Structures are given as C-alpha cells and as structure tokens.
A and B are shown apart, each in its own frame.
Chain A
C-alpha cells in the first residue's frame, strides 16, 4: 500500500505514454514538470515534447514542478479502476466533485496544456491497475 502505485506500474505508464500515437500529434508543446501524489508518495514527472523524460520519486527541494495532482490512494484507485465510478472517471470531474483530489501549483500551466495533459491522465487508466 505504501508503495502505491509502485515502480513497475510507473514504468508501464511511462512506456504507454511514450508509445501513444495521439500524444505524437498533440504533445509537441507540452514541456513541463508536474507532480503526482498518491497519498504520501510524491513523484515528479518531467514531460518533454509530450513524452515522459523522467520520473523522480520523492523529489528533493531543487526538484521544481509547475503544478501537480494530489489525492489519497483510495481516490486514485477509483480513478484507475477499469470501471471507474461516476465522478471518479475523469480528472476534471474529480476537480469539480471530489474535494480530496487537488490541483496544486500553477493551474495556468496545467490548463495551457489541457488537451495533452488530459490525454496523459487518461492513459493512466489505460495502463491498467497497479499491482499494489
């Protein structure tokens, strides 16, 4: 549980994102680092031209990020479920209706990249459930 979503899932996610044909079309201008926080676990995901260039676990204070998504593990489990319950099926839905799911940092950068970011988040579900 503490390791959720786990290194193997993150590796699969990275592979899935970097092989995504849609991000090849829409991702060119998405260049930013954002964080994903699963309960206590925080990761910095660096995107270069719509591809994941790096994922750093527990980034140090010099690991800068423009924005991030944070939620308890229970919320992420619903979001990543192949049969997500209503309100947990989309990150915009969670931002509006699930108070525990938070957009942190500079929301302008997030929304400037809304199209590619939305695709990137939806690929999380397509990656399949974490083993943890």
Chain B
C-alpha cells in the first residue's frame, strides 16, 4: 500500500448568507474538534503538518476548510459581477455556516492572522458554544496592510502577494517551508488576498468586543511570533491585556505563519496552548 498521509479531503455544498457555496474541507484525527482557519489569500494546506502530527490527531479531530474563493473552494454563482471583499460579518457567516453544517460541538477554534483575528470576535459572540480559541498572530485592530497594488492590472498579483508576505516569515524558519507558503500565496486568485486584507486592515476593529470574552466560559490562548511585523507581539499583548485570564506566549524566532513556516518550532507552543484549553488527565 502507498504511504498515504492520514488527511481526508471532501467537498460540501452549503448555504452561506443566501448563496450556495461548494466548500473544500480536510480533516484528520479523532476526538475534540479543533477547527482551523487559514491566513489571508491562502488555504487549508497551511495546516498539513498539524494534521500529520499524531500527538494532536490522537486527541483532536482537526478540521480545516478553504474559504470561498480560496484554494479548492469555488466562488459563488455570479462571482464575476462583484468585487470580493471580506468583512467581519461575512467572515463570521462563512465560519458559522461550516461549523453548523459539520455539527461541531464545543469546538476549539484555531486561527492564524486574519483567522487569529476573527476567532476573537467568534469568542465574543459564541463563547458558550466553544471550548476555547487558539489565536495565532491575533490582533484586535490591524491597519496598514491594504494597498491598490495587491490587485492591479500592471502588476503580477500572485508574485506580489507572495513576495509581500514572504518577509512575514521569520528569517530563521527553514527556507523550504517559507517557499512553500510563498507558492500557496502565488496560487491565490486575482484580488482574493486584497479582499481578505480589506477585512484585516480596513473593516476589522474588535478592540471593544474582545472585552466581552469571559475566559471562565471560553478559554483563550494567544501565540505570536517575534518576527511578525503585521501583527507585532505588542499588538497581541494589547489583546491579552484586554482579556483577563487569557494566556499569551511570545514565540521566539518565529514569524507570522507558525504552522507552516516552522512546525517543529511551533509544536511545543501549540501543545501547551491546547493543554490550556483542554487539560489532559494527569
């Protein structure tokens, strides 16, 4: 038999805010649901190392999906007649629709970058339906990433978006992994990264909403890389300070994409964060 990885990918077609979407979902493992959200302009392949880690998949059912327009998920009908713009509300509607369609009970949400941002709002709104959140590179307010060149007819969008995000990796992460993430970015459809950054840097401001998170009901673990210049450690420290009982750890020598740029370096922090949310019996 060939040596298959333990990841299974499938498609579902679901109604999201009145539109039908064909969504790609991949998963591995059994146990508590760990629902993973990829970064802007990328897709669920970023979680491939996590889904191949027996220490995680022995305890958690790890699930990740490609956002509409991203990866292997198709845009909705008549996508050519509207500009793709993710907003806080549309992002929540997408995640909530997939979450309910899969019937995930008290999942732990794990998101990175824009995913690390939106898990804060999801925790504020749905804290009684969650075990907790793991926010990677989480900020409550992150202006400064949006620009017109990210989707411009005189510029190769794939190469710009991939190069624009490459330095968000730590210079100490293995080059092969940083380059893999570059490739995923380069594969993004025209304007998709920009549409995501519209959410991240224009629409997003959860500085008040994060104060509603009650860590007695929904646990919060925050991890940010030292070399992240989009969501700097100081930005996550501000989130942690606004959520009493949250747990924040700085990841030394890490950048903005811990799960894909340097999984071995990220792993101890991740296991510690998951133990915080779902303590293992002694």
Contacts and interface: CB of A to CB of B under 8 A. Distances in A.
B48 to A, nearest CB: 24
Interface in B127-175: 144-145, 149, 152, 154-156, 159-160, 162-164, 166-168, 170-171
A107 B149 CA distance: 9
23 contacts: A84-B171, A86-B226, A86-B228, A87-B229, A87-B232, A89-B170, A89-B171, A90-B167, A92-B163, A92-B164, A92-B167, A93-B229, A96-B229, A107-B149, A108-B149, A111-B152, A111-B155, A112-B154, A112-B155, A114-B155, A114-B163, A114-B164, A115-B162
A97 B229 CA distance: 7
Interface residues of B, number: 23
Interface in A53-104: 84, 86-87, 89-93, 96-97
Q: Which 10 A-B pairs have the closest CB atoms?
A: A90-B167, A93-B229, A115-B159, A118-B163, A114-B163, A114-B160, A92-B167, A111-B149, A86-B227, A89-B171
Q: Which of A90, A92, A112 has the most CB of B within 10 A?
A: A90
Contacts, number: 56
A92 B182 CA distance: 14
A84 B169 CA distance: 13
A53 to B, nearest CB: 23
A89 B227 contact: yes
A71 to B, nearest CB: 16
Contacts of A115: 156, 159-160, 162-163
Nearest to A98: B229
Interface residues of A, number: 17
Contacts of A114: 155-156, 159-160, 163-164
Interface of A: 84, 86-87, 89-93, 96-97, 107-108, 111-112, 114-115, 118
A108 B44 CA distance: 31
A36 to B, nearest CB: 18
Interface string B230-250: 101000000000000000000
A86 B225 CA distance: 10
| Dominant SS among interface residues on chain B | loop
Contacts of A96: 144-145, 229-230
Contact of A91 (B144, B167, B168, B232): B167
A27 to B, nearest CB: 12
Contact of A90 (B144, B149, B160, B166): B166
Contacts of A118: 163, 166-167
A90 B144 CA distance: 16
B275 to A, nearest CB: 27
Contacts of B229: 86-87, 90, 93, 96-97
B262 to A, nearest CB: 14
Contacts of A97: 229, 232
A68 to B, nearest CB: 17
A118 B227 CA distance: 17
B160 to A, nearest CB: 5
Nearest to B158: A115
B268 to A, nearest CB: 20
A91 B171 CA distance: 12
Contacts of A90: 166-168, 171, 229
B151 to A, nearest CB: 12
A83 to B, nearest CB: 9
Nearest to A91: B167
A117 B164 CA distance: 11
Nearest to A111: B149
Nearest to B159: A115
Contacts of B144: 96
A119 to B, nearest CB: 9
Contacts of A89: 167, 170-171, 227
A23 to B, nearest CB: 14
Nearest to A26: B159
